[in-house]
Structure 1
Amino acid sequence: MSVIVVTGAAGLIGSETCRRFHKENFHIVGIDNDMRARFFGAEASTSASRQALEKNLKNYRHYDADIRDAGAIEKIFKQYGGEIKAVVHTAAQPSHDWAAREPHTDFGVNAVGTLNLLEATRQFCPESAFVFTSTNKVYGDTPNRLPLVKQEKRWEIDLSHAYKEGIDETMSIDQTKHSLFGASKVAADVLVQEYGRYFGMRTVCFRGGCLTGPGHAGTELHGFLAYLMKCTVTGKPYRVFGYEGKQVRDNIHSHDLVEAFWQFVLAPRSGEVYNMGGSRHSNCSMLEAIDLCQQISGRKLDWKYVEDNRIGDHIWWISDVRKFQTHYPQWKYRYDLMGILKEIHAACVEQ
């Protein structure tokens, strides 16, 4: 029996991972205790997603465990041992703002939880691939020092710069303001790399930008495109924070990210790091995203601007994914920005 352990199994990326690997006849061990509902309230709960996994995937088994509990994690890993072929770690506290309110909880989930999973993997299934969903926030606000040009509806990098195609993995993660969330993810990211380099384990950090899709339980503090479309469809007011609404993000569909996971698991490497997002293929500013949501939905968004950019927030982020594409040339995007937004819109209308 081939087993994959998926943390945050009922979340956007976790549930996509469960479905993708289930198609490949893996037995899925899902770990998720719905802390998202605690972070962001009942509307962000992943309980419905968990129920769907249990109903639709015959080889899915759920564990309502907390990744901060080393004993609980060890018990699960010990049960399956060498049958575990891959660990995909997507569980996280994902919000800048929330981290500042409860630093111990944020660090416990993001850093200590990751350490518990790495050590359980090393003890019970050291040959398995270990995939970690890191974040571009490990670079702190260093991207804001790039030569940026203000355009009508977006910020854009000076196209003579080396990062004109996107920011690659050579950018320093040092001497920068991360936010406490970014700092806890840095700790986890470096741990994942070190278990690869020091112990020779098959580990990878995917430093994602905006991860999205129709299964995203978006809220104001997390889930940019999903929450924006939700507000446009329902008439709920939306707030744009800072940078004149011209801040740029690249957006990657959960399907495309998980397909990258699959390619890595097929041919794992040790201690790798990849920037992974929509790249030049799929990106937009806040103002551009508002225009697209209104265009697709046929409705006008009720929004206001707040002159208060969030601490450590990026003015411009586009990922350079060419390193991953070089290592895994079979990987291709399925979704562009319009494809992503149309799927999210359809999901909002169905709710």
Structure 2
Amino acid sequence: MQTALITGSAGLIGSEAVRFFAGLGFRVLGIDNDLRSYFFGPTASTAWNRDLLAEQFGERYVHHHVDIRDQRAIENIFRDHGGDIHLVVHTAAQPSHDWAAKEPHVDFTVNANGTLILLEATRQFAPEAVFIFTSTNKVYGDTPNFLPLVEEQTRWEIDAEHPYYRGIDEAMSIDQSKHSLFGASKVAADILVQEYGRYFAMKTASFRGGCLTGPSHSGAQLHGFLAYLMKCTVTGTPYTIFGYKGKQVRDNIHSHDLVNAFWHFYRSPRVGEVYNIGGSRHSNCSMIEAIAVSEELSGRKLEYRYSEENRSGDHIWYISDVAKFQGHYPEWHYKYDLRGILEELYTAQAARV
């Protein structure tokens, strides 16, 4: 039986990966200590999802309540199972650039040091395993904000003749820009993943995600754009739009589509790869466009206020160019578009209230 080790296993991408790979017959070792509840409060806890996984998969899912910064504990897990581990999917992170500024040491040790601990444990105990890392588009800092953007009625946009109209590719510089401290810690992790691939010839990949979303997301104000927006719409919780007239654009990829991309990479891995991955032109929206669809689906008006002050270093417009990944793995296709994502989010949220 193949074994996958998945960090952040009760979170959005981690739990999707557990379900995906356990569904294929893998034994899954999950690592998650619900640090998300520390970052964003008890309403963002992932404990409910952890319990669902244990109930659904029984002995095929082995949960470890371990912090990825605990080198000894991580090494012990790898030591016990290393020879059997075929795949490492690393999704655990501090994911908010606003939160990172409050506790920079925690942010950096979770995102950078935790990644180093996992990479080195993989190298020592499971060197043939495929190592997949969920990076972020924030590695590009605020460089996308200097593109020649045009204000339209409901969104910021870029001219159809511009080379980046189809989306931002991996050639964009990650240097000399404002990343946020979160972005900087993820850059460190991203480069480490590349370096372990190139230096030690390990099968590693950094997937630089756009907005990752899905019904398993414990959305919070500081992280989880679409999930939190739908939660506020359904529950009547006031929502705040930060800057850019609410016309800032994000591409959105369903957690299933992302994990399916991981699966394609696992079946035919490469060394030290980097991929931009997101909804691309297939699935993207501005905040006010997302609000309109959420209100339509829920039949409720969202109560929101507008803050003139945008989040520092926040993207005005970001759409991923996924052509590189699709070129390497042409059998990978999207299952969800934006409306399909929001319909699932509405169904999941309505069931919780």
Q: Is the TM value for this pair above 0.5?
A: yes
In structure 2, the partner of 1:28 is 28
Q: How large is the RMSD of aligned CA atoms in angstroms? A: 0.5
Match of 1:8 in 2: 8
Match of 1:286 in 2: 287
The match for 1:191 is: 192
**1:326 aligns to 2:319 (yes or no):** no
1:126-205 equivalences in 2 (<5 Å)? 126-205=127-206
Q: Which residue identity does 1:131 align to in structure 2?
A: I
The residue type paired with residue 112 of structure 2 is A
Match of 1:347 in 2: 348
1:271-330 CA-to-partner distances (Å, cap 9, x unmatched) read 000000000000000010111111111110001100111011000000000100010111
Partner of 1:112: 113
**Cross-structure match for 1:97:** 98
Q: Which runs of 4+ in 1 moved over 4 A?
A: none
Matches of 1:139 and 1:16, distance apart in 2: 26
Amino acid across the alignment from 1:261: F
Q: In the TM superposition, what is the alpha-carbon distance from 1:81 to its structure 2 partner? A: 1.5
Cα deviation, 1:58-107, whole Å, max 9, x if unaligned, reads 30000001100111100000101121000000000000111000000000
Match of 1:171, SS?
A: coil
User: Is 1:247 the counterpart of 2:241 in the alignment?
Assistant: no
AA aligned to 1:71 is R
Cα offset, 1:23, TM superposition: 1.4
1:42 aligns with 2:34: no
Q: Note the C-alpha offset of 1:160.
A: 1.8
**Alignment coverage as a number of residue pairs:** 351
- 1:220-299 matches, within 5 Å, as 220-299=221-300
Check if 1:76 corresponds to 2:58: no
- Mapped partners of 2:217, 2:132: distance in 1: 20
Give the distance between the partners of 2:84 and 2:246, measured in 1 at CA. Answer: 48
Deviations, residues 113-167 of structure 1 (Å, cap 9, x unaligned): 0000000000001111000000000000000010100000100012221111000
Residue in structure 2 matched with residue 51 of structure 1 by the alignment: 51
Q: Does the residue aligned with 1:275 lie in a helix, a strand or coil?
A: strand
Using the size of structure 2 for normalisation, the TM-score is 0.99
TM superposition score normalised by structure 1: 0.99
Partners of 2:161 and 2:141 lie apart in 1 by: 23
SS at match of 1:101: coil
Matched-pair identity in %: 68
| Unmatched 5+ stretches in structure 2 | none
Code of the aligned partner of 1:41: G
